[in-house]
Amino acid sequence: MTMALRTEAIETLLVEKGLVKSAAVDALVERYEQDIGPLRGARVVAKAWTDPKFRARLLEDGMPAIRELGFGDNTDAHVARLVVKENTESVHNLIVCTLCSCYPWAVLGLPPAWYKSPAYRSRAVREPRRLLAELGLDLSPDVEVRVWDSSAEVRYMVLPQRPEGTDGLGAEELTDLVTRDSMIGVERLQRTR
């Protein structure tokens, strides 16, 4: 049986048993596709770059800080904490989940396919420098690499470094610079995208 037919069959059963309503499933799929995406994370990053007090609160405890921006609804209700790790000149952070594919849904939406791939999950903890180099990010040997394996209900997000030459930019323009992959830690941001 194809995946699509199996999905129909399990949906029919779950509806019959009263566990789900098909209309609600339709609505949630639409919401995933349209509303929940890395834009929230990008706004959080832009705010942290421009508001030192917010940045301090964000690094102290992520969930209350993102709630200030109206995020952190029940998308990730089971999560214990959101921990934000800041990239600097001397430290580079990278996020992975080797056991399944835990990901900070509340700020980044659903994970991209490569994040869930066996190649990423297996290699990020053993050879992060080589992996990052293959993805186009060559780290100097002086830079310490910190890999965060999200093995419990703590979710991690990277606060990327603010690119040079962005002093005059406003919140919207800064938000536009921030990529999903920079908040996972596989990319460094540039002035022009």
Q: Which residues are catalytic?
A: 97, 100-102
- 45 or 131: whose CB is closer to another protein? 131
- Cα gap 109→77, rounded to integer Å: 13
Q: According to the binding rule CB under 8 A, does residue 176 interact with another protein?
A: no
Q: According to the binding rule CB under 8 A, does residue 65 interact with another protein?
A: no
Q: According to the binding rule CB under 8 A, does residue 49 interact with another protein?
A: no
Is 110:28 a contact under the CB 8 Å cutoff?
no
Is 82:95 a contact under the CB 8 Å cutoff?
no
The residue among 71, 70, 89 whose CA lies nearest residue 157 is 71
Please give the C-alpha separations between residue 4 and each of 11, 34, 68, 111, 191, in angstroms, as whole numbers: 11, 22, 40, 21, 43
Pick the stretch among 15-23, 42-50, 157-165, 169-177 that binds another protein (CB under 8 A). 15-23
Q: According to the binding rule CB under 8 A, does residue 116 interact with another protein?
A: yes
Q: According to the binding rule CB under 8 A, does residue 56 interact with another protein?
A: no
Pick the stretch among 46-54, 65-73, 125-133, 163-171 that binds another protein (CB under 8 A). 125-133
Q: According to the binding rule CB under 8 A, does residue 143 interact with another protein?
A: yes
Pick the stretch among 11-19, 45-53, 65-73, 165-173 that binds another protein (CB under 8 A). 11-19
Among 33, 51, 138, 176, binds another protein (CB under 8 A): 33
Q: According to the binding rule CB under 8 A, does residue 98 interact with another protein?
A: yes
Q: According to the binding rule CB under 8 A, does residue 57 interact with another protein?
A: no
3 state SS of 165: coil
3 state SS of 18: coil
What is the full DSSP assignment across 104-153? -HHHH-SPPGGGGSHHHHHHTTT-HHHHHHHTT----TTSEEEEEE--SS
| Site residues (vs another protein, CB under 8 A) | 3-4, 6-8, 10-11, 13-14, 17-21, 24-25, 28-29, 32-33, 77-81, 83, 98-101, 109-110, 112-114, 116-123, 125-131, 134-135, 141-154, 181, 186
